[in-house]
A and B are shown apart, each in its own frame.
Chain A
């Protein structure tokens, strides 16, 4: 192992291209397809990287489980040098997919603009090193390029997270970038033009709809793909199991990975609360106000594991799960507490012996 990778081991969270370095190299080596300009592998290899498979004897783990067709559509979009917009409920793996696509296609998933209410147009285009600007006037050295500008110069892919959190005028700065594929630096009298391979993957949250709605002009410049919640329980359990295992390894959690039973219970509770109906579709259930996504199920389980490791014996107990569930479902609203109480009393209680332990623990915490 090289020193570089050792230092990488220390970082809290590795970018996808380092985490799956081996898989990417294997895919590149085994790739026989035509590689589009600016890409580091063929579209088919990218598809294998995301949906799993095998390349040159190396097993490729699936990164996005569930709907293969959506991934195909995302890749097909990027082949046609169109920008891609992923929309979905919180926790439907929008950022995860965008990061992995970028890692596979461009090899660097680090060119990110994080959209917030405070994001300014400079962060999308470019800004200045004001000390140098004042000292020497406008010069290429004083120019501070945005991630998007750097991606244009390198012919790579920039990511724009939570685009709908930005003010409309900031969003609209993208319009000229996406249609002209240049950024004009008026102060220097220069244009920075995109090289082949440049594209943008943006993500937006459906819960933010109506906050800063994207203009029609901007929407028109994106291919929009809606990422759904996992289609069925099995898919969701699969996703949760895989991510929990990965995170546990990464953070070196000293607790056993939760068994199938615990996974199934958590996923069942989450799915029922999310859809407002019990899995057998026989009972109506109230939904809490906050989002209860797959991503939260994952963090709930890893959180519970941390609890078990730090304060328990490393074995995931019902009490740990109950604490996690309480925190994930009852956010700040008192109403959520009632919803949760109702669920415990009406649904969980009737589930029989296997749920008894969890029921008691939840009941105790929520009363």
Chain B
């Protein structure tokens, strides 16, 4: 390999995501008319280029590479319409030039990333191996802002992962001409470097400096020459520090450059005239790539680690593009840069301020805040004079924003903040041409979305969707009749797998049976999660079923298992219904925990009651329900011997068991249930509140005759019974069916007599229970009680009501407060 032949290669250093760079690069390509265009990007994704340049591919899109094994590691290379790389690829496509990516293949990048993580976290390997569903990865701020290739994400649990992820992002610091300022500490010095540059130039921040000096300058060659000088000196300033601080990052860069040289040499060897090869890379690498000296040898290449990876193209969003980068390579405002790119291509960059500010005003008007054209004109004038203060040829983004704030927001940023966000970032998402390489799950999801007419929800803006699961009888085909039901199955399956495309919204209806509300929003993360789901199966349904069976295998409580039964039902996974039933059966076999059993019973009862709305055959669940219910009935009395705190959970358990008993009266043994309740009601050694509740239920069911009831009341409230037993029992009694209670005058007479017979100290105790019992009564019910008591006391209902519901005097207030600190001593 002769190095002399490398002379004359056209290396064009750019900043990633820079419209100015794209503009200049296109001119350079026109001038050179290359036969080969080599772009910094994963060489094993060269095959994706033909999809990238297709007419119906609409950026922003990204190349996603992922490992096939758990833990899934992913790397992203996003492209916007104004990415110089994207522009170069399109140019090559139009002019029939050969285009290829020349950076390290993603298989090596991911393998290096994995190795680095292990190195950095010795002994912590356990925590790293997270199942893909449990810990869906987010594209973390992939290292240096400008380190566009590649954005990498590790499968590390959130938090503390930044430093780990940063290095494989490769270009670490200053790697790019862009202000590659990572957030983590070691490189903080370079962060200051960019601040210093901005300060020396008198600009508020580096982005403004960059825009003013590089994006706005459209004179020929200006971009390439100034930028190469700029990054040459930056590299000189930072390279030593990098070598010292982060050997790995330094070495990583060296490996990448050496590999790129190898590919350049390969292009020369393939017969391309060196003068007609254009290399497009981050300006940081531009100088190094001017010669192919030190190209990687075969032996060195073989020594690099390899991971098994696959690639796919995926739509990307401007939102993600902006939030990914933090300090970003000029992509803090992708929407703005797209406007800039459009203006440049129209040859009217100077019109950008009008376009931008008019857009902001239009957004404001659309949201109901009127701003006149005159104000837009003044805002443009102000932005211009701000630019003039910095000797700029035209307003930069910061100038436009400040002008918008002053004129359109009348000084308040909050007025224009939303409109600015719309304009700067926008809600745009990319689109791929049909049939472009995708994983089977992505294909399956797309097909189902289309089939279920959900495609219009595939936007970056959150949209609500209300489903009616009942059969639609006005349509002919079965698919149409159960459209909403099938949608519900799909959405439930997605949330089971952990694809965050749809979030359920709490419905206004309790125990929602046939109505469901969802919020749908597409994000690049959802796309990544979909790709990850391919590990679980080829289709959404298979992946959901496998996820569920994994969860079943891991579950170890009755409540969890019964929740999984419900999920299986919601997802329409009949096969899993059987499996989860078995799991629950095993778990319940030797449980005596009535609270847990009751929770399971109530879940099952709900599934059984509403199962047919989902067209599921739930009858196999009946025996299990019966078994659980019987067991809960049998242990009821035993479990009711508990303290007041545990009684709260038991109260709920009893109520839900009773609800189930009534719901499935035919299938369940209600007689047994009532018998056990009767036992509980008559026992004096159980928690009095639960006994009271049992009594109330029996009264309600008419099992206890009026006479028996009065007997019971007088027994429980007879003088001499300690206050916490008597009043506690009454509290339990008052928990249900209050009208029936209020209407029984005899009961109140007894309560009245009981209270009157209590001693001062005992009375205070009773008061604590009674206050709690009556606190849940509605005002109307209280008035009714007052009326009854008024009659009893012979003072008439109205007066009693006034007395009881009037304002408390200060003295009474104080007495009540003393009650709050009442000491139960032995209790």
Interface residues of A (CB under 8 A from B): 43-44, 47, 68-69, 72-73, 75-77, 79-80, 82, 85, 87, 219-220, 223-226
Contact = CB atoms under 8 A, between A and B. Distances in A.
B382 A219 contact: no
Interface stretch (B405-413, B498-506, B586-594, B748-756): B405-413
Interface in B650-702: none
21 contacts: A44-B389, A47-B389, A72-B386, A73-B402, A76-B382, A76-B383, A76-B388, A77-B382, A77-B385, A77-B406, A79-B385, A79-B388, A80-B378, A80-B381, A80-B384, A82-B381, A85-B411, A220-B372, A223-B382, A224-B410, A224-B411
B375 interface: yes
B204 interface: yes
A73 B375 CA distance: 16
B34 to A, nearest CB: 44
Contacts of B406: 73, 77, 223-225
A76 B389 CA distance: 8
Given A77-B406, A82-B382, A87-B411, 4 more contacts: A68-B204, A69-B204, A76-B385, A80-B382
Contact of A226 (B374, B385, B411): B411
Given A224-B410, A226-B412, A75 B378 contact: no
Contact of B385 (A43, A68, A85, A220): A43
Contacts of B372: 220
A321 B383 CA distance: 46
Contact of A82 (B378, B402, B410): B378
Nearest to B377: A80
A220 B411 contact: no
Interface in B400-429: 402, 406-407, 410-412
B389 A75 contact: yes
Nearest to B409: A224
Between A85, A219, A224, the greatest number of chain B beta carbons within 10 A of the residue's beta carbon is seen for A224
B404 to A, nearest CB: 11
Nearest to A71: B389
Given A82-B378, A220-B375, A223-B378, A76 B386 contact: yes
Contacts of B384: 80
A68 B410 CA distance: 19
Given A44-B389, A79-B388, A223-B407, A69 B381 contact: no
Contacts of A219: 410
B564 to A, nearest CB: 43
A258 to B, nearest CB: 31
A42 to B, nearest CB: 9
Contacts of A80: 378, 381-382, 384-385
Contacts of B383: 76
A159 to B, nearest CB: 18
A73 B405 CA distance: 10
Nearest to A85: B411
A47 B204 CA distance: 14
A79 B388 CA distance: 10
A121 B407 CA distance: 27
A76 B406 CA distance: 11
Contact of B411 (A44, A68, A225): A225
A226 B204 CA distance: 18
Interface of B: 204, 372, 374-375, 378, 381-386, 388-389, 402, 406-407, 410-412
Contact of A69 (B382, B402, B411, B412): B402
A62 to B, nearest CB: 15
* Complex A-B, nearest 9 residue pairs according to Cβ-Cβ distance, in ascending order: A224-B411, A76-B385, A79-B385, A76-B386, A80-B381, A226-B411, A224-B410, A223-B406, A76-B382
A223 B383 CA distance: 12
Nearest to B372: A220
A152 B383 CA distance: 25
Contacts of B381: 80, 82
A253 B411 CA distance: 39
A62 B641 CA distance: 78
Nearest to A34: B388
Contacts of B374: 220
B375 to A, nearest CB: 6
A226 B412 CA distance: 7
Contacts of A44: 389
A47 B391 CA distance: 14
A225 B382 CA distance: 12
Contacts of A224: 406, 410-412
A4 B385 CA distance: 38
Contacts of B411: 85, 87, 224-226
B246 to A, nearest CB: 32
Nearest to B380: A80
Contacts of A76: 382-383, 385-386, 388-389
A223 B382 CA distance: 9
A73 B387 CA distance: 10
Contacts of A82: 378, 381-382
Contacts of A77: 382, 385, 406
B378 A43 contact: no
A333 B148 CA distance: 60
Contacts of B382: 73, 76-77, 80, 82, 223
Contacts of A226: 411-412
Contacts of A220: 372, 374-375
Nearest to B410: A224
Nearest to B203: A69
A223 B406 CA distance: 6
B410 A43 contact: no
Nearest to B402: A73
Contacts of B388: 43, 76, 79
B402 A43 contact: no
A166 B753 CA distance: 73
A82 B385 CA distance: 12
A50 to B, nearest CB: 12
B242 to A, nearest CB: 32
A339 to B, nearest CB: 26
Nearest to B379: A223
A220 B376 CA distance: 11
A223 B389 CA distance: 17
Contacts of A73: 382, 386, 402, 406
Nearest to A81: B381
A66 to B, nearest CB: 13
B207 to A, nearest CB: 14
A219 B386 CA distance: 21
A203 to B, nearest CB: 12
Contacts of A79: 385, 388
A73 to B, nearest CB: 5
A80 B375 CA distance: 13
Between A68, A82, A87, A223, the greatest number of chain B beta carbons within 10 A of the residue's beta carbon is seen for A223
A72 B401 CA distance: 13
Nearest to A224: B411
A64 to B, nearest CB: 15
A72 B389 contact: yes
B390 to A, nearest CB: 8
Contacts of B410: 219, 224
Contact of B389 (A43, A87, A225): A43
A223 B402 CA distance: 11
A146 B537 CA distance: 83
A260 to B, nearest CB: 26
A72 B392 CA distance: 14
Between A69, A79, A80, A225, the greatest number of chain B beta carbons within 10 A of the residue's beta carbon is seen for A80
A77 B388 CA distance: 12
Contacts of A225: 406, 411
Contacts of B204: 68-69
Contacts of A69: 204, 402
Between B204, B383, B411, B412, the greatest number of chain A beta carbons within 10 A of the residue's beta carbon is seen for B411
A80 B386 CA distance: 10
A71 to B, nearest CB: 10
B59 to A, nearest CB: 33
